[in-house]
Amino acid sequence: MTPRERVLAKLAGEPVDRPPVMAITMMLAADMVGRPYRDYVTDWRVLVAGQLATAERYGLDYVSCISDPTREACDLGAPISFFDDLPPAVQEDNTLLADKAHLAHLSPPDPHAAGSRMLDRIQAAAAFKERAGDAYAIEGWIEGPCAEGADLRGLNTLMLDFFDDPPFIRDLFEFVIAMELEFARAQIAAGCDLIGCGDAAASLIGPQLYEEFVWPYEKRLVDGIHEAGGRVRLHICGNTRAILEPIGRLGCAMVDLDHMVPVAEARAAMGPAQVLCGNLDPVHTVRGGTPDGIREALARCHADAGEAYIIGAGCEVVRDTPPENVLAMAEYARAAAGG
């Protein structure tokens, strides 16, 4: 099987020759081609070169347009801080929606606008399709409602809004969903097989707030991406143990598990068919461990997850992880041939 065939078959619940490897790499990929991270997040050519080099070097089964969570916010006009060799960041003390009234005057940006950061990601997807579309699965990326809401409003302020102004939360999330679905459709049209949806801030609220405010909008994102012909990889950093069951009801093609979420617990909550990915600790197990330790940890994850499992760390593989440790993930996959 080609890597792309392997990923798509696994996501469809079909037999594969071995488990796919879909570890998230970003800063490591920039380092692979010797470029500062600022170049990686602002020039699709650098991102594509870095991802292809990383996939080939480390036996990954996919390439990804993921780079940072500020693309949409940037194109809306939010103040974003850029750094030479670190990810760009939202200015928490100077957010676009510090004044909630400004939401009524916002329009979703055109993802194809010349010079926009959203277009840069679409161009990366198109380049992947042209250069490696039949070899590797291609992953696009969007932000989920809670994550994008935090980028536009500020994380701490958004947390208060859930209690202080629920109607505003719903209006904000309606805006976000419309914007993100348009962005996802554009990436699918450019050649993406699946769309990663990052909604890290959702791990910071309790199950009641998640069910009431976040789940309905994540569900609309998932359904809309499926209707557009894509598949969804949900990535919520942090401890999602309290919301595993509703996450399992979203219908995602795959769900990432961070290292503090036991794989066996997720399997019990989500049922046997949900494809899971993770949950190795990116720092202590992957970066700071040994190849043998990584392979042993993956074997435990695989046993707890069963056949509906994709190999990966709980979050991004740290940029200075020893090469032999990154390679250990693909080595485990080959040893588990037929899984």
SS (H, E, C) the chain: CCHHHHHHHHHCCCCCCCCCECCCCCHHHHHHCCCCHHHHHHCHHHHHHHHHHHHHHHCCCEEECCCCCCHHHHHHCCCEECCCCCCCEECCCCCCCCCHHHHHHCCCCCCCCCCCHHHHHHHHHHHHHHHHCCCCEEEEEEECHHHHHHHHHCHHHHHHHHHHCHHHHHHHHHHHHHHHHHHHHHHHHHCCCEEEEECHHHHHCCHHHHHHHHHHHHHHHHHHHHHCCCCEEEECCCCCHHHHHHHHCCCCCEEEECCCCCHHHHHHHHCCCCEEEECECHHHHHHCCCHHHHHHHHHHHHHHHCCCEEECECCCCCCCCCHHHHHHHHHHHHHCCCC
* DSSP bridge pairs for 187: none
Q: Are 194 and 139 in contact (CB under 8 A)?
A: yes
Sign of CA dihedral 8, 220, 280, 200: positive
Whether the predicted pLDDT of 186 surpasses 70: yes
* DSSP bridge pairs for 140: 195
Q: For residue 63, what pLDDT is reported? A: 98
CATH code for position 53: 3.20.20.210
Q: For residue 176, what pLDDT is reported? A: 98
Residue-level length of the chain: 339
Q: For residue 93, what pLDDT is reported? A: 93
Whether the predicted pLDDT of 339 surpasses 80: no
Average pLDDT over residues 264-283: 97
Confidence at 91, pLDDT banded by 50, 70, 90: very high
Whether the predicted pLDDT of 260 surpasses 50: yes
Q: For residue 157, what pLDDT is reported? A: 97
Q: Are 330 and 40 in contact (CB under 8 A)?
A: no
pLDDT tens for 122-143 read 999 999 999 998 899 999 999 9
Write out the residue range of the structural domain in which residue 200 sits: 3-335
Average pLDDT over residues 303-320: 97
Arithmetic mean of pLDDT over the chain:
97
Q: Are 274 and 253 in contact (CB under 8 A)?
A: no
Please give the tally of structural domains in the chain. 1
Average pLDDT over residues 81-97: 96
Over pLDDT 90: what percentage of the chain? 98
Average pLDDT over residues 232-242: 97
Q: For residue 311, what pLDDT is reported? A: 98
Q: At what angle do helices 166-190 and 145-153 cross, to 10 degrees?
A: 110
Q: For residue 133, what pLDDT is reported? A: 82
pLDDT tens for 41-55 read 999 999 999 999 999
Q: Are 255 and 266 in contact (CB under 8 A)?
A: yes
pLDDT tens for 221-233 read 999 999 999 999 9
Average pLDDT over residues 254-261: 97
Q: For residue 337, what pLDDT is reported? A: 81
Rg over alpha carbons for the chain, rounded to the nearest Å, is: 19
